[in-house]
Amino acid sequence: MARHEGRGMASVNYPIGMNLGGDPSQALIHSNPDGKFTVALSAIDLGQGMKQVSRQIAAETLGVPIEDVYVDTADSDTGPHDMGSFASRGTHRMGNAVIAAAREARGVLLDAAAEELEVNASDLVTDGRGNIHVRGAPSKTITVKATAQAAQFKQGKTIAGRGIFLIPLSAVDAETGEMNPNTAFAHACLVADVSVDDETGEVTVLRMTSAYELGRVINPRMVEQQLVGGAWMGISHALYETPEPYYPNPEHGPRDFNEYLMPGPGDIAPYHVTVLERPAPDGPFGGKGPGEMCANPVLPAIANAVYNAVGVRVDELPITPEKILRGIRANGGVKPGPRRGGAVNWR
Amino acid sequence: MAKLPVQFRLNGSDRAGFVDPAGNLLDLLRRGLGDFAPKYGCGQGTCGVCTVLIDGEPQLSCLTLAISCEGRQIETASGMADGPNLHPLQQAFMDNFAAQCGFCTPGMLTAARALLAKNPNPTRDEVVEAISGNICRCTGYEPIIAAILAAAAGGAGMRRA
């Protein structure tokens, strides 16, 4: 009885968002009398970082400090319409809507400042620190706060902007079958090293190494956070989780966290990620976003690594010890594949 | 059934409530006393999100009878920050991006606080063991482990655990 090591690889081209009937997101931005801005979105931040990314995008486009932007999400009664947070569309779709709304609000902001400074709005620039001044003449200046107050108390203007980003429905061409369901693709390649125990059928993920191409990385730490957390989910889907282990018989299904298995903090593997940035032409500042693809390549990479280790091709998830032991028996024993590549020495 | 009075220290303040004899501490904290840091997850002691300290020991408040807490010291994640100043563990969780949805965070912080109070310089394996009763769905655990080790290295266990 022995443990066998194996290496598997998987690559993915991952579509950002989907387009089943058109895919719109809207954003509304307005300034308050204190010169701070509220961004209203109906999409929800489940912890993936959409609020932070929207805040960065709004502040950058408005030309104001990031601490002066508040993002209000997830009230579909009062917020503008949004398809939702799914299909990895958050950064790309909401980000573009926020840019459109922030551009319009910035236009009104500069018009109001121009009226106060008695100059042409096209000569005005923002310094990103809460000031608006005439290009080349920094002494001719007004704060965003004073501008917001002048607009609201004197000029009778709302400093506000509306934004929508819409990928229109792309129908299938009857002649060619061609369609354009998506505008941005992200890419990844992941290598998993595993060890398979031929006595117990247990798989241990030894380490994973990946490269992700996600367009412009708008918040590097949050991208890393998504990739690391998502890879854990990938391991969990590959080796542990299922609501119906003996489908279609539901009686053996797990009913609670004692029975619904997931890797714990002692089961995680060292994971090394390299992020590549190829800005997307239609992305907000070139961003695409990580989303679900953080988990996706982990599953086939682990399945391939198991095959490489013991010669068992498991094509139903999760890859349980039982399936591996049945596979080894059906093959008449362990059939390790060729060892691939050298040792990984990044850790 | 008649309600029973119970009185204890919660995050340094005297608090009291009336509870069903079979009522659990989590219910009293959340519904009775308005402390929403401990979360209701599984309700059967398998997820760890309701973890609180009772006399310094990490306990699952969903499995603890409220009346058994008479006269004891209860501490939750709500009591960790000192006004606007975060507890070193909270700061380390922020710095290491150890929260995403945040649902497991109060329980993780509490489990970590109990560990560092007893063992200010834990090994990675000891950190893993200390949070092994707490489920996280978002982070993959690595940032949480890193945060606790960082807080320990910064002396969190000795300063204020």
Taken in order of first residue, the domains within chain B and their CATH numbers are 4-79 (3.10.20.30), 88-159 (1.10.150.120)
**Residue type present at position A89:** R
CB of A10 closer than 8 Å to CB of A301: yes
Q: Are strands B57-60 and B51-54 parallel, antiparallel or unpaired?
A: antiparallel
Nearest to A228 among B47, B102, B142 (CB): B142
Mean pLDDT estimate for chain A: 93
Supply the pLDDT for residue B125. 97
Closest by Cα among A290, A279, A276 to A211? A276
Decide if A3-15+182-330 and A23-167 have a common fold.
Answer: yes
Specify the CATH architecture of the domain A23-167.
Answer: 2-Layer Sandwich (3.30)
CB contact under 8 A, B139 and A232: yes
Q: Cβ of A232 and B140 within 8 Å? A: yes
B131 touches chain A (CB under 8 A): yes
pLDDT for A347: 45
pLDDT of A342 higher than 80: no
Q: Do A43 and A88 contact (CB within 8 A), yes or no?
A: no
Model confidence at B149, pLDDT cuts 50, 70, 90, reads: very high
* Pick from B42, B131, B138: CB nearest A257: B42
Report the residue of chain A nearest B104, measured CA to CA: A47
pLDDT bucket at B1, cuts 50 / 70 / 90: confident
B55 contact A CB<8A: no
Q: What is the mean pLDDT of residues B31-52?
A: 97
Q: Residue B104: name the closest of A293, A232, A88 by CA.
A: A232
Is the CB of B142 less than 8 angstroms away from the CB of A268? yes
Interface contact B135-A256, CB threshold 8 A: no
pLDDT band at B6 (very low <50, low <70, confident <90, very high): very high
As given in the structure block, the two tokens for residue B85 are 């100043």
Q: Contact A265/B145, CB-based, under 8 Å? A: yes
pLDDT band at A344 (very low <50, low <70, confident <90, very high): low
Tens of pLDDT along A147-199? 999 999 999 999 999 999 998 888 888 999 888 777 789 999 999 999 999 99
- pLDDT for position A341: 66
Q: Rounded to whole angstroms, how far apart are CA atoms B123 and A297?
A: 32
Task: Search chain A and give the residue with CA nearest B129.
Answer: A266
Interval B96-108 mean pLDDT? 96
CATH level 3 topology of A3-15+182-330: Aldehyde Oxidoreductase; domain 4 (3.30.365)
- B73, B8 contact by CB (below 8 A): yes
Q: By CA distance, what is A256's nearest residue in B? A: B42
Distance between A51 CA and the closest CA of chain B, angstroms? 12
Q: Does B128 touch chain A (CB under 8 A)?
A: yes
Mean of pLDDT values over A89-116: 96
Residues B142 and A3: their CA atoms lie apart, in Å, by 26
From B17's Cα to the closest Cα of chain A, the distance in A is 31
Binary contact (A265, B131; C-beta < 8 A):
yes
pLDDT of residue B161: 40
Q: Is A3 helix (H, G, I), strand (E, B) or coil?
A: strand
Q: Which residues of B touch A47 (CB under 8 A)?
A: 99-102, 138
User: Which of B102, B128, B135 comes nearest A257 by C-beta?
Assistant: B135
Tell whether B57 is within 8 A of chain A (Cβ).
no
pLDDT in tens, A12-41: 999 888 777 788 999 999 999 999 999 999
Asked if A255 is an interface residue toward chain B (Cβ–Cβ < 8 A), one would say no
3-state secondary structure B53-70: EECCEEEEHHHCEHHHHC
| Annotated domain spans of chain A | 3-15+182-330, 23-167
Chain B neighbors of A221, CB-CB under 8 A = 97
Q: Both tokens of residue A38?
A: 């509220």
Kindly report the pTM of this predicted structure: 0.91
CB contact under 8 A, A46 and B144: no
Residues of B in contact with A44 (CB under 8 A): none
Mutate to test the interface with B, among A232, A239, A255, A267 (most CBs of B within 10 A): A232
Q: What pLDDT score does A22 carry?
A: 81
Would you state the pLDDT for residue A343? 58
Whether the CB-CB separation of B108 and B134 falls below 8 Å is answered with yes
Distance, in Å, from the CA atom of A142 to the CA atom of A150, rounded to the nearest integer, reads 11
Kindly list the residues from chain A whose CB atom is less than 8 angstroms away from the CB atom of residue B144: 265
Instruction: Report the gap between the CA of B29 and the closest CA in chain A (Å).
Output: 23
User: Binning pLDDT at 50, 70 and 90, where does residue B159 land?
Assistant: very low
Look-up: residue for tokens 């104001």?
A: A64
A224 CB near a chain B CB, below 8 Å?
Answer: yes
| CB nearest to B140's CB, from A47, A228, A257 | A228
Does residue A29 belong to the interface with chain B, where contact is any CB pair within 8 Å? no
* Chain A partners within 8 Å of B102 (Cβ): 47
Identify which has the larger pLDDT, A71 or A338: A71
A241 — contact with chain B (CB < 8 Å)?
no
A269 vs chain B: nearest CA distance in angstroms?
A: 9
